[in-house]
Each structure stands twice: as structure tokens, then as C-alpha cells.
Amino acid sequence: MTVVLPGPVPLDMPPGDPGAVDDLVRDLAGAAFHLAGVDDRLHGPGASVSGWVGDDAVAATGQIARVAGLAGTSTAAVLTAAGRLSSHAEALRDARRRVELLRDEQDEDFRSAQLRLGDLADPQVAVMTGGGGWAGIVAEVEAADAARRRRHEAVLEALAEDAAATARVLADASRPLGGTGRAGDGDRVAVHLAAELPGWGDPHLSRRGVVVARALLADDSSCNDVAQDHLLLAGSAPFAQALLLGLGADGLRAALRLLGDGAFGDDVHGPSSAVARLLSSSLGAVGEGTDPRVGALLAAPLVRARDETIEADLVAVGMGAVLAARAGSNGPGASTVAAWGRQIVAREHVMTRDWAGAAAADRVSVHLGARGTRRDDPLPLVVGSLARSGDAGAAAALLGSPDAWVVLLGRSWADDAAALGRVIENAAVAPGVAGEQAVRYALEAVGGGLPEASPRDWAADRGTVESLAPALGRAVAARVEVAAAALASAAGEGGGDGPRHLIQGLGYLTVDRQAAATVEGALTSWVAGQSHDLAGSSRAEPLPLFAVPGAYVAVQEYGQRLSHALDGYELEHAAQQRALVWNFSAGLVLEVASFSRVPLVSVIADGLKVVGPPLLNADGTFTQGPDRGLRYGEDVAGADVVATLPPDLSARVDAARAQAEAAYRRTSGVLGDPDPPISPERWRVVLEGLGGPKSTGRQFD
């Protein structure tokens, strides 16, 4: 048996090369020397711009001052960094020397132990008989090596602390130039210098933008990596402009289509995609209206409304990915978002009307099938972005067409239309006719589909309209002249039925009492500013002072009756759905069974066909309770006007009441009478099942 010593503890050298650090210190010293020379020259004769006058002289002087400031700040930072690196190089040398000494000491201890073990008379006999000499030698070696390990760790820890302190000094030294001391500072410094020295930085960043545009146009698997490498530059206007102009409308459309199609991989699509983040930051950096070419690109039609292929839907979903990738305030401007929103809305309107299509995200999900993940619906992202921006002009631009309202009111919203409500209120206060048009189209969209047809044909989603009612009420109040003009027109015999849809929409809006009160307050203020001169007015053409309040009472009466009618049609629809389920399930089975050659089976099937639907409430009948809505008769219209009659017309109470009540009647005639449907009587349905005459219910009139 032999005695084996334990293996020596590893004593690794600390990382780093003192010689390389020395080379870096010399480079920094050289840089500091040249920077100091530039600083001296710019504070001496070189600071003058003789021969330059006016704005050019001011700009040149400003540039020289900025360069001098950068040179002075950089000189101090470089000298500080060089001094700290020199100290770190010395600390690194000292650490390496100490580790070398520990290694030499370890080698000596192990050689000495081996010699001492060899001096034992018979190490094998000592081990077998339990002699302690060899054990003491091994224990001494182990204890000495453990102590060396602790000393080695202390050396490395001290060096690591010095390295961390050096890193902090270097990070602080880079901050005057836009650095942070982290990886990727090259691009950060380039962006900072481009802002400080546009004469140098703009061309540099523009060239980088062109290179990235070419990479994206190449449409290969490296696109996402290229985008990731240039994210820090995307916030720079020169880079962003060069990138977008390099792409052009066709290239931007292609990039958006690839985003929508998940061409960069489903794990990097949408907001996690570097391409989406690059485009989002670049679109935000270029601003709006700064360059005609950029303006034309931002307004370019990227989504083709009547494209029957999936391409337009993929582009729309790609737009949503770019909006979802927005980081803070760095993203497409409100005007760009509104332009994209108009294109998406136009697409949705055409698809819903002509092809009975769903939302773009739903069509794309069907297109991708099992190979893709669910894509974000772009329209809520558009609305959310505009709501956050608070831009009234952009909001009015999105809502400035009847088709937009049909689409927006015809869908349900995950946030109960809260963001859309803010956009509506912003649009209402847009200057000029844009705000008026947004409010007018909103009311006409709510009222459209209600008259002379079943409310089942109503394009608006009832839940959405009800959620938006308070916001719509505030929007109408902000543009009260729109409602007042429509009410005044409907109240007179010469007004015709022109404003019918608008005041019908206003009527349904007033079912929400908060909205009704808001609109009423605005109308009261509007009426207070109208003429009190009764000359030329009559019941046929009432004075606006009386016509508008009287017509508004009629509008509220219509809204209450309409709400009850819509409730009835919902009950009727549910009853018809239950009947449909019966007819295509149990009813179909019983129909087949009724032709059985077994008489008993046939008789039972015929009986169940008759009694089954009424017993299971699947016969198409329904029960609607009485209309318990508020009542607004023409007497209310007259009383309201008399109660608010101006003092100078106190003697004309009868004329005021007559004109207000006439306005009420005329407006009621324009609005129509929204009767609810009437359920077929159950006994008639049973009779029909037995072969009697067919039963029908009353339709919406």
C-alpha cells in the first residue's frame, strides 16, 4: 500500500492582460492629446468665422462652440479613464504576481511532503499498523492548501472590486457622449454625436438606414437580426428617414405583410418582433410633415379595401404589430395612425358588406391555420393609440366618414368601448367642420337601419352604442349646433324628413339618462342665445326658441319606445333561435320517425311534434312585459317651454305652448312609431302544427 497526497487546489490566474490594458492607456493618452489640441485651437483663432455674416455666422459659431464643448468634456473624460485604467493595469499585475507566488509556494509544499513521506522507514507498514507519521504529513499539506485557496480567492475578489470600480469610472466617462457603459454603446454614441454634430452625423446615420432598408427588402431570415442590431438608431430622424424612404411604399407594405404573416417566426411576431419595433420607432422619429416625401409615404394607401386576396388583411395585421410594438411615446404619430385606421376601416366595411367577412385578424388566423398563432386585431390598437395621443384632428380624421362609424359601432370592444369613447370626444372638439361631421355621422350611424325595417337589420351593436352613450352625449353637447339644426328642421313643415336618421340616433342616445341630461343642458344654452322675435313664426314654422325644446321632447319619447321595441325583437330572435334548434335536432328526428311503418311509433312521433315545442318553449313564441319606459307627451313639451319662457314673452304663453306642441307632433311624425313585434299565439302555433292556418306576428312599422 502506498500513501497518496491530495490533489493541489487549482490556483487560476486572474482574467485580463496587463499589456493589453497598457496599450489601451497609451491609445487614450494619444486621444486626449489630440482632443486637447482641438480644444486649444477652438478656443483660440480657430473659433472665429471671419467673413461669415447673418444666420450662417450664427450657425457656424454655434457649431464651433458645440465642438469645443465636446472636445473639452471628452478630454477630461478620456484622461480620467486613462488614469483609472492605468491603476487597474497595476492592480492586475500585482494580482498575477501574488498568484504566481502562491503557485510556487504550493509546488514547494508538495515537494517537501513527498520527501518527508519517503524518509519514513516503511510507509506501508506505518499505514497498516496505524502509525501517525504519514497522517500528520497529509494533514499539514491539506491545511496549507486550504489556506492558499482562501488567499487566492481574496486576491481575485480584490481584483474584481477594482475592475468594477474601473467599469463605473469608464461608464461615467462615456456619459457626456451618450454612452451608458453597456454593450451597444457604439450606436448610442453615434446617435448622440449625430444630434450634436449634424454635419457629420446625419450622413453617417442615413447611410446606415439605407443599408438596413436593403436588408429588409432582401426578405430573408436575417431581417429580424438586422433589425435587432439597429434598434438604437431607429429613434434618430436621419436614420429613420433613410430607412423608410429606402423601403418606399411597396417595401413598407411588404414588410408589414411579412409581419402579419409571421414570416420572422411566430416567436418574434407582433410586439416582440425586432422588425416591428424598428418600424415603430422609425415612424415615430421621422415626425409628420417635415419632408414631403416622408409625408407622401405615411399617407400612402397600404391596405387595399377591395383586394379579394389575404394580402390586404396581412398588411392590416402587420400595422397592428407595429402599433403594439410602440415603446412609450416613440411610435407612429397620430396622423399616421389615423391614416392607417381609415384604410383598415375601409377594408372592414367592404369585407363586411360585400363578402360578409369578419375582422382582419380572424381572416388571417384562418389563413395561417395550424402554423400560426392568434394575431392581434389592428383596429382596437388604432383606436387605443389615438385615444392615448389626445390628438383631436387625428381623431376627427378617423371618424370623418359614414363607413367608419358603421364599422366602429358594429363591433364589440374588449374595453367596453372606453378608448373609442375618448376618441369620439376628442374628434368633437376638432376645429372647423371636421368635428361637426364626426358628430353628425355618429348620430346618423346610430339611427341608420332603424326606420322602416326590422331592428334586426341594424348595423350597430346595441351593447357598443349603450357603452358609448355618455361619450356620445358629451360629443353632441360639444357640437350642439348639429343637433339643434336637425331638431329645428324636423320641427317645421318645410324641413322634410332630411334629418330623420340623425334625430333617430339622437333619440336612442337619450335612453341613457346621463347622455340625455348632457345634451339637454347644451340645448338649453343654445336656445338661450336664439331670437325672441315671434314675427313670421307659426305652428307650421315654429320659432327655434320653441321648436328645438319641443322637438327634443319628442326625440326622447321616441327613444324610450324604441328601446322597448328593440327589447321585443331580441326576445323574438331568441325564440326563433330556440325553434330553429328544435327543428334541426329533435324535430328532425321526430319527422323521420313519423314515417315509420310501425303505427305506434308513427303516432307517438306525430304527437310529440305538436306538443314538444310548446312544452319546451321552442315553438317561436315569446312573452314581453309592458313598456315601463319614461313617457314624454306633447303636453310635456308645452309645459317645458312655458316653464323656461323668457320674461319678454310671458304674455305669449299660448303661442309658445302651441308652437312647442306643434314641433313635438311634427318631429314625432318624422321619427315614426317603433312598435315592438307581437308574438304568435301559442294555440295558433299548435293549430298550425296540426295542419291549421299559418300564424304570423306583427312586423316593425
269-279 pLDDT, tens digit each:
445 688 899 99
Per cent of the chain over pLDDT 70 is 78
Closest Cα partner for 528 from 545, 551, 509? 545
Answer positive or negative: Cα dihedral of 451, 456, 460, 465: positive
Beta bridge partners of 330: 327
Q: At what angle do helices 433-447 and 500-509 cross, to 10 degrees?
A: 80
Residues in the chain: 701
Q: In the structure, what pLDDT confidence band is assigned to residue 267 with cuts at 50, 70 and 90?
A: very low
More confident residue, 580 or 494: 580
Beta carbons of 263 and 314 less than 8 angstroms apart: no
Give the per-residue pLDDT at 654.
86
Q: How far apart are the first and last CA of the chain?
A: 113
Nearest-5° angle of CA 244, CA 281, CA 292? 40
Beta carbons of 376 and 321 less than 8 angstroms apart: yes
Highest mean pLDDT among 57-61, 133-137, 517-521 belongs to 517-521
Beta carbons of 141 and 2 less than 8 angstroms apart: no
Mean pLDDT of the chain: 82
Give the per-residue pLDDT at 368.
62
Give the per-residue pLDDT at 269.
42
Give the per-residue pLDDT at 417.
94
- What are the C-alpha distances in Å from 287 to residues 281, 553, 592, 699? 11, 48, 70, 55
More confident residue, 145 or 252: 252
- Per-residue model confidence as pLDDT tens digits over 576-612: 899 899 888 888 888 888 888 888 888 888 788 788 8
- Per-residue model confidence as pLDDT tens digits over 654-670: 888 899 899 999 999 99
- Per-residue model confidence as pLDDT tens digits over 514-539: 999 999 999 999 998 988 888 878 88
What is the C-alpha separation between 284 and 213, in angstroms, rounded? 17
More confident residue, 354 or 108: 108
Is it the case that residue 623 has pLDDT exceeding 60? Answer: yes
Give the per-residue pLDDT at 451.
46
What is the C-alpha separation between 72 and 64, in angstroms, rounded? 12
Residues 129-152 have a mean pLDDT of 77
- What are the C-alpha distances in Å from 294 to residues 282, 283, 385? 11, 10, 21
More confident residue, 209 or 366: 209
* Residue 523, H or E segment: helix 513-528
Residues 188-206 have a mean pLDDT of 70
Cell numbers placing 449: 337601419
Rg, C-alpha atoms of the chain: 41
DSSP code for 626: -
Q: In the structure, what pLDDT confidence band is assigned to residue 268 with cuts at 50, 70 and 90?
A: very low
- Per-residue model confidence as pLDDT tens digits over 403-428: 899 889 988 899 999 999 999 999 99
Nearest-5° angle of CA 569, CA 571, CA 573? 65
Of 197-201, 293-297, 449-453, the least confident: 449-453
What is the C-alpha separation between 394 and 698, in angstroms, rounded? 45
Residues 648-653 have a mean pLDDT of 77
Q: In the structure, what pLDDT confidence band is assigned to residue 126 with cuts at 50, 70 and 90?
A: low
What is the C-alpha separation between 438 and 404, in angstroms, rounded? 10
Per cent of the chain over pLDDT 90 is 31
Give the per-residue pLDDT at 233.
79
What is the C-alpha separation between 392 and 425, in angstroms, rounded? 8
Residues 484-492 have a mean pLDDT of 92
Answer positive or negative: Cα dihedral of 345, 351, 356, 361: negative
Of 51-65, 242-256, 414-428, 461-475, the least confident: 51-65
Is it the case that residue 353 has pLDDT exceeding 70? Answer: no
Of 349-358, 440-449, 565-574, 585-594, the least confident: 349-358
Domain boundaries along the sequence of the chain: 18-177, 479-701
Q: In the structure, what pLDDT confidence band is assigned to residue 28 with cuts at 50, 70 and 90?
A: confident
Closest Cα partner for 80 from 192, 194, 170? 170
What is the C-alpha separation between 487 and 553, in angstroms, rounded? 10
DSSP code for 122: -
Show Cβ contacts of residue 495 under 8 Å, excluding neighbours closer than 6 positions: 488, 489, 666, 670
Is it the case that residue 201 has pLDDT exceeding 80? Answer: no
Residues 281-309 have a mean pLDDT of 84
Exposed/middle/buried for residue 547 (C-beta within 10 Å: 0-12, 13-18, 19+): buried
> Alpha-carbon dihedral of residues 361, 365, 371, 375, nearest 10 degrees?
30
Highest mean pLDDT among 200-209, 362-371, 455-464, 628-637 belongs to 628-637
Closest Cα partner for 260 from 333, 326, 330, 310? 310
Q: In the structure, what pLDDT confidence band is assigned to residue 309 with cuts at 50, 70 and 90?
A: confident
Beta carbons of 543 and 659 less than 8 angstroms apart: yes
**Which pTM was predicted?**
0.74
More confident residue, 362 or 222: 222
> Alpha-carbon dihedral of residues 646, 652, 655, 661, nearest 10 degrees?
40
Give the per-residue pLDDT at 696.
47
Give the per-residue pLDDT at 27.
85
Give the per-residue pLDDT at 615.
85
Give the per-residue pLDDT at 415.
92
Answer positive or negative: Cα dihedral of 151, 152, 155, 157: negative
Give the per-residue pLDDT at 699.
41
What is the C-alpha separation between 185 and 694, in angstroms, rounded? 82
- Per-residue model confidence as pLDDT tens digits over 537-564: 888 889 899 899 999 999 999 999 999 9
What are the φ and ψ backbone dihedral angles of 327, each rounded to 5 degrees? -110, 110
Beta carbons of 515 and 424 less than 8 angstroms apart: no
